[in-house]
Amino acid sequence: MSIAIVTGSGGLVGSEAVRRAVAAGYDVIGVENDMRARFFGRDASTAAVTDALVSELDEFRSLDADVRDRERIDSIFAEHGAEIELIVHAAAQPSHDWAAREPHTDFGVNALGTLNLLEATRARCPEASFVFLSTNKVYGDLANSLPLIELETRLELPADHPYHAGIDTSMSIDRSTHSLFGVSKAAADLLVQEYGRYFELPTVCLRCGCISGPSHAGAMLHGFLAYLMRCTVTGDPYTVLGHGGKQVRDNIHAADLAEACLAFHARPRAGAVYNLGGGRESSCSMLEAIEACERISGSRLDWKLSDEARIGDHRWWISDLDEFRADYPEWRLTRDVEVILRELHAENAERWLAAAAS
């Protein structure tokens, strides 16, 4: 029996990884304790997604477990041992702002939880591929030193700049402001690389930008495309934080990210690291995202601009996908920002309106 373990299996990326692993022939064990409801409130709970996965997929079972619980994690891995062939580690505390409220919790989930999983992998299934969902926030705010020019709806790099097509892994992670979230994820990222290089385990860090998809439980502190569309549909007010609304993000669909996890597993290597996002073809500024949400939904967003940006926030981020594409040429993006927003609206608008009316 071939087993895949997915942490954060009720979340956006985790749930997509579960479905993709089942489709690839794995029995999947989910590690999920719905911490997202604690982080962002009841509306951000992953319980409904977990229940749906359990109901729909005979090959999936969900375990109520916390990645910070070293003994519990080791017992799960010990039970299945070498049958475990793939670990997708998607569990995380994902918010800049929340991390500053509870630094110990943030670091425990993001860094110590990752250490627990790596040690269990090394001890129980060292041949298994270990895929870590990292973040571009490991680079801190160094991207803000790029020579950006201001256009009508977005900030942009000059066409002759080396990073114009996207930022690659040559960017330093030093001498920058990360936010505490960025620090805890950087610690985890380095652990994953080190276990790959030092112990020769097949590990990869996928440093992602914004991730989205129709099952995203977007909240004010995390998941901007989903939350932006929700506010546009329901009429809830939205505040754009800094940069004149011209800050740029690339956005990757969770299904495309899950496919990348399986692509790595098909040809794993030790201590790999890639920047992986939507690239230039799936990028937008806040102003551009607002326009698209209004056009797709047929509603106007009640929004205002704050002069105060989040600490360590990026003014411009587009990932260079060339490194990953060179090693995994069969992988490709299948959905851009427009498609992501249309999916978010089509699958959630009625539910959001019903919840707002109740």
Would you say residue 310 has pLDDT above 90?
no
Indicate the pairing of strand 149-150 with strand 155-156. antiparallel
Could you tell me the two tokens for 102? 């509870």
**pLDDT tens digits for 252-303?**
999 999 999 999 999 999 999 999 999 999 999 999 999 999 999 999 999 9
User: What are the helix (H) ranges across the chain?
Assistant: 12-23, 35-40, 47-56, 70-80, 96-101, 103-107, 113-124, 179-198, 224-234, 254-266, 286-297, 322-327, 337-357
CATH number given to 3-357: 3.40.50.720
Provide the pLDDT confidence category of residue 308 given band limits of 50, 70 and 90.
Answer: confident
* Cα gap 250→284, rounded to integer Å: 6
Task: Report, as an integer, the average pLDDT of 200-219.
Answer: 88
Task: Report, as an integer, the average pLDDT of 110-135.
Answer: 98
Task: Report, as an integer, the average pLDDT of 64-91.
Answer: 98
* pLDDT over 70 percentage in the chain: 98
pLDDT at 358: 80
Backbone phi and psi for residue 284, each to the nearest 5 degrees, phi listed first: -160, 160
Would you say residue 218 has pLDDT above 80?
no
Instruction: Please give the mean pLDDT across all residues of the chain.
Output: 94
* pLDDT over 90 percentage in the chain: 86
Let me know: does 316 contact 156? Beta carbons within 8 Å: yes
Would you say residue 217 has pLDDT above 90?
no
* Cα gap 351→157, rounded to integer Å: 39
pLDDT at 295: 98
**CB atoms inside a 10 Å sphere around CB 61:** 13
pLDDT at 56: 97
What is the residue extent of each domain of the chain?
Answer: 3-357
